Amino acid sequence: LIACVGNENLGKYLVQSVKKTGVICDYIAVEPVAPTTIVLVSRTTGTPDFIAYRTADRMILPSHIPNNVLQKTQFYHTTCFALSQEPAQSSIVDGARRAAQLDCKLSIDVNYAPSIWGDRDEARRVIAEYCSHGAFVKMSLDDIVRLFDDPALDEQTAIATFHDWGAELICLTKGAAGSLVSWEFGQKMQHQSARKISECADATGAGDAFWSGFLTAWLDGYEPPECAVAGSNIAAMKLAVVGPLPEAVPREKIYEIFD
């Protein structure tokens, strides 16, 4: 994990908490002046609302993303949240360019929100530049409505736009309606049903859970439609609990209900 926290107890607590999950935290930078960023997120069964107090998270510098790390990296992942403010924006985009040159796959969660990135034109320009390196894109129906400011925009047009920007693979998540995967730069497309759950306890983090399962399956050699099934499996686990998943997910559980 490459990130930036403040030089105070909250930052130390967050780093310690992430370490307990097994994530390598050697490249989390400590910002000497700006305090640790705080985000308040609503607990909901629908799309969560949030308030962000942006400080240290946006202080990622190019030196925090060294080539020796990128050389060992299989996926270089970021989000619209991370890209929304400088200097992190330029640093992450520069890191993406270098990662692509080192044959590392790029990934982005297009979790755009006007409250964190008010300039839509800039957002689309930066996202397009990131996608130009053949990125894998995860986005939801809510994301594309917010990014393009067009409630009538159809999903096929949105997917085609991202492929025009250079994205190799796009996964559009649609909640209970499943997901639509378009890959090989739009040459192939398939709808995948969502895993049924009896009750939704908390939707916050379900999209992240889905994408973690998707990318893990891709790294394990599965085809994109199968990756969407794996993502749905992990998302279903997350939806069933309030807050984060209570423990690490055994790899075999990602694939346990494959047909």
pLDDT digits (tens, 9 = 90+) for 149-169: 998 899 999 999 999 999 999
First-residue to last-residue Cα distance in the chain: 33
Neighbours of 7 (CB within 10 A): 14
HSE-CB of 148 using CA atoms within 13 angstroms: 18
Q: What angle do CA 57, 58, 63 make, to 5 degrees?
A: 95
pLDDT at res. 75: 98
pLDDT at res. 241: 84
Helices (H) and strands (E) in the chain, counts: 10, 10
Strand ranges of the sheet holding 169-173, from the earlier edge strand across to the other edge: 75-79, 105-109, 136-140, 169-173, 179-183, 188-192
pLDDT 10s digits, 10-52: 999 999 999 998 999 999 999 999 999 999 987 766 667 788 9
Segments in the chain below pLDDT 50:
none
CATH of range 62-254; options 3.40.1190.20, 3.40.50.620, 3.60.15.10, 3.50.50.60: 3.40.1190.20
Contact 130, 108 (CB under 8 A): yes
State which H helix or E strand residue 81 sits in: helix 80-83
Contact 186, 160 (CB under 8 A): yes
In one-letter notation, the amino acid at residue 169 is L
| Owner of token pair 């599965």 | 222
pLDDT at res. 201: 75
| Interatomic CA distance for residues 53 and 31, integer angstroms | 15
Whose CA is closest to 203, among 36, 50, 70?
50
pLDDT at res. 66: 98
pLDDT at res. 25: 97
